[in-house]
């Protein structure tokens, strides 16, 4: 994982992955992870983009 800081805490990140016909967005912020599921790719990507802007990140990572 390229977003792990020294000391083992993860830097803020937004990750999107599809599994079993469902789309998942993982938001990593302040050492906490929140995962939300979506039925459609477009809703997942819209949510991920909003979180990317909110956190001031450069990219959304698709896994």
How many angstroms separate the CA atoms of 10 and 52, rounded?
Answer: 15
Domain boundaries, given as residue ranges, for the chain: 13-62
At residue 2 the predicted structure's pLDDT band, cuts being 50, 70 and 90, is low
pTM: 0.85
Q: How open is the CA angle 13-11-55, to the nearest 5 degrees?
A: 50
Instruction: Please report the sign of the dihedral spanned by the C-alpha atoms of residue 23, residue 52, residue 9, residue 4.
Output: positive
**pLDDT tens-place string over residues 5-35:** 555 667 999 999 999 999 999 999 999 999 9
How many angstroms separate the CA atoms of 11 and 26, rounded?
Answer: 13
pLDDT score, position 6: 52
Instruction: Please report the sign of the dihedral spanned by the C-alpha atoms of residue 52, residue 13, residue 45, residue 63.
Output: positive
């Amino acid at each position: 994982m390229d977003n792990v800081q020294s000391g083992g805490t993860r830097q803020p990140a937004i990750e999107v992955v599809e599994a079993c016909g469902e789309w998942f967005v993982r938001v990593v912020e302040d050492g906490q992870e929140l995962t939300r599921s979506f039925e459609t790719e477009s809703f997942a990507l819209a949510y991920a983009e909003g979180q990317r802007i909110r956190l001031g990140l450069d990219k959304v990572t698709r896994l």
